[in-house]
Amino acid sequence: MVVTATVALLAAATASMILGAVHVPFSDIWQSLTGQAEEGPLRQIVVELRLPRTVSAIVVGAALGVAGALLQGALANPLASPDVIGVTGGAGFGAMLTLLVWPSAIALLPVGALVFGVTAAGIVFLIGWSGAHAGAIGRVILAGIAITALFSAATTSLMVAYSDRVQSAIFWIAGGLSSDGWSSLSVVWPYFSVGFVMAIFLARPLDRLALGDDVAASLGGRPRLVRLAAAAAAALLASSAAAIAGLLGFLGLVIPHLVRLAGGTASHRFVIPASALTGAALLVAADTLARVVLAPIELPVGPLMVVLGVPLFLWLLREAV
Amino acid sequence: MGPMNRLVVAVFLALLLFAAPAQAAPRVAALTPFSASTITRLGVRPVVVGQTLGGTDQYLASLKGVPVLTLTHPLGPNMEQLATYNPSIVLSSKTWQRGSAPMRRLGMKVYESDPTSVAAVGRETRAIGKLLGRTRAANSLATKIENDVRAAQQGIKRRLRVLLILGVGRTPYAMLANSWGGDVVAKAGGQLLTNGLTAPSGIVRISDEIVVQRNPDIIIAVPHGNPGAISKLAKYYASNPNWRNTKAVKNKRVYVATGNQLLQPYPGVAATIRSVRAKFLKNY
């Protein structure tokens, strides 16, 4: 499974570099990437448009896959995804605030999505990990649903109040990468890094947590702390992903299931890295399709990714049953 | 009957004729700026107008004082508010299509009119005139608009390549030839970078690769912002690293068009064409 996902990712990344609205001969792509090409439009297309976009798709796809795996493991709930802890609702509100209310501050869009995504998750954690039954799964999920509803309602209100400006916000909601070079990635890479490093260290504790809180505690683990750390890492990864690519919740929900079904194991030491590879491969492939299907028009990635991923997921689900 | 009596009868009949109640002017709700402007020019004062979105730079002064309906409701106006003005005719738009059926159920005659091309302005003016029983005045106005448009297009010296974008964001949302703004720029002598590309909405997100390859002479951005933010937005668009090698950026020809002249149709389209030529294309 890991080998297949790696090969799929390499193939998708290669296609992403080769294909686009403008035909660039392979020799020019190679020379541009190896620094041998002269300054000109083709070099600019390869180095400043396609390369950062491909790298962004890899990072965002991996982040959403890992975020889903962490949340489903931490909350022991197959329906867990970044939506459940309020990240999607918060990030969406932060982005709409910039796009609709302060369009002249558009440069702050990634920051707005990141800050509000993390804030929404923070509120959920505060409610979920305080009071009676602190850290109980049901409490966290219900808090997440409530906070998501709150931010979604605020987002809808903004869209109604600024209905003449909604057009420029639709693409962000549909989810998709933009050719903005390295600027967005340069803002959020530290958060991605922290999230990925936390995920690596959480794989083993999450495996223990899968045995049940009592067993995990008897093995020396701290179930509530592990759950909080996993949810926090997922919030960082999903908010950072939303800052770059908008709302792509589908990846976080489906990729871990797809990986577990294909790999035949639920061990987080397998699911987390395999989800990263598969999520990256799927997003890069979907983004490439979005750029070339109706070129030079760019389609939103979200719906395309669903078209690609759902048949594969349903086939695996049928095979597993 | 003597001549005097005949005269008296004739005067009496004439008085009766003139004293007969004149045909009541239709009570019109004009929800779009285009329809509000058009019917005012046809001599019909709307009982209520729709809120003008995106700026009031082309709003007729004579419409001042006419009640304004907010249009953020999904059906267009709030039906209860609209009903209080008791309009017999509602000039709406495809945008508010969902509201047409409820309006008809309330006994209102609904006509959806919002031209997306310069050529449609005359056509729609005639259609509205016919609906209001002002056919002759509408024909005259439409002909004047068409003649003015032809005059505004005179003397175009060169056709520069233009990227016309809507909204804010690093990836351009291009206004195509079948959008209002795209058609106005084309009529003003701009050659749209998107060539003959069309889409149902007239606006699509296009690849930056095409922008780099086709290298626009001029970039006109139509953001949703306040006039006060023009310089900030112009700096933002010009700083887009993907566009730094375009002729538009190198020659400092990235413009920001606030107001709604490229967003919404108006009968004064000839003036808009002249303004686009003078301010942005500079092709006189």
From B86, B117, B152, give the residue that closes a domain: B152
Is residue B20 assigned to a domain?
no
**Whether residue B263 sits in one domain with residue B185:** yes
Cβ–Cβ below 8 Å for A168 and B173: yes
A161 interface with B at CB cutoff 8 Å:
yes
A168 interface with B at CB cutoff 8 Å:
yes
Is residue B13 assigned to a domain?
no
> Per mean pLDDT, which of A10-19, A291-300, B233-242 is the most reliable?
A10-19
Q: Which residues of B touch A165 (CB under 8 A)?
A: 167, 224
For residues B3 and B12, what is the distance between their CA atoms, to the nearest angstrom? 14
Residue type, B40: T
* Burial (CB count <10 Å: 0-12, 13-18, 19+), residue B271: middle
A160 interface with B at CB cutoff 8 Å:
yes
| pLDDT given for residue B133 in this prediction | 92
Tokens of B22: 């004149």
For residues A304 and A290, what is the distance between their CA atoms, to the nearest angstrom? 7
- Of the two residues B118 and A302, the one the predictor is more confident about is B118
The per-residue pLDDT for range B84-103, each reduced to its tens digit, is 999 999 999 888 888 899 99
| pLDDT given for residue B225 in this prediction | 59
Chain B interface, Cβ < 8 Å to A:
53-54, 71-72, 166-171, 173, 194, 197, 199, 203-210, 212-213, 215, 223-226, 229, 232-233, 236, 241-242, 245
Q: Which domain holds residue B231?
A: 161-281
| pLDDT given for residue B274 in this prediction | 95
Give residue limits of the domains in chain A: 2-320
* Burial (CB count <10 Å: 0-12, 13-18, 19+), residue A152: middle
**CATH code of B40's domain:** 3.40.50.1980
The per-residue pLDDT for range B156-167, each reduced to its tens digit, is 888 999 999 987
Three-state DSSP state, B197: coil
How confident is residue A315, by pLDDT bands cut at 50, 70 and 90?
confident
**Whether residue B211 sits in one domain with residue B123:** no
Q: Are A239 and A87 in contact (CB under 8 A)?
A: yes
Nearest CB partner across the interface for B168, out of A103, A183, A295: A103
| pLDDT given for residue B46 in this prediction | 95
Q: Are A162 and A101 in contact (CB under 8 A)?
A: yes
Q: Which residues of B touch A290 (CB under 8 A)?
A: none
Three-state DSSP state, B271: helix
For residues A222 and A224, what is the distance between their CA atoms, to the nearest angstrom? 6
How confident is residue A171, by pLDDT bands cut at 50, 70 and 90?
confident
**Whether residue B168 sits in one domain with residue B145:** no
The per-residue pLDDT for range A45-101, each reduced to its tens digit, is 999 999 999 999 999 999 999 999 999 998 888 888 888 888 889 998 998 898 888
Say yes or no: domain A2-320 is CATH 3.30.428.10: no
B44: phi then psi, degrees, rounded to nearest 5? -110, 120
For residues A115 and A191, what is the distance between their CA atoms, to the nearest angstrom? 11
Residue of A nearest to B208 (CA): A179
From B152, B177, B203, give the residue that closes a domain: B152
Residue of B nearest to A172 (CA): B169
| pLDDT given for residue B224 in this prediction | 66
**Whether residue B145 sits in one domain with residue B33:** yes
Cβ–Cβ below 8 Å for B207 and A21: yes
| pLDDT given for residue B169 in this prediction | 60
Is residue B15 assigned to a domain?
no
From B120, B152, B184, give the residue that closes a domain: B152
A178 interface with B at CB cutoff 8 Å:
yes
Average pLDDT over chain B, rounded to an integer: 85
For residues A123 and A125, what is the distance between their CA atoms, to the nearest angstrom? 5
Q: How many helices (H) and strands (E) does chain A have?
A: 14, 0
E strand or H helix at B89, and its extent? strand B89-92
Three-state DSSP state, B29: strand
Tokens of B24: 């009541």
Three-state DSSP state, B165: strand
Is residue B19 assigned to a domain?
no
Total domains, chain B: 2
Is residue B21 assigned to a domain?
no
Torsion A84-A89-A90-A95 (CA) sign? positive
* Burial (CB count <10 Å: 0-12, 13-18, 19+), residue A26: exposed
Tokens of B232: 């900030």
**Whether residue B36 sits in one domain with residue B145:** yes
Rounded to the nearest 10°, the torsion over CA B78, B80, B81, B87 is: 110
pLDDT at B52 over 80: no
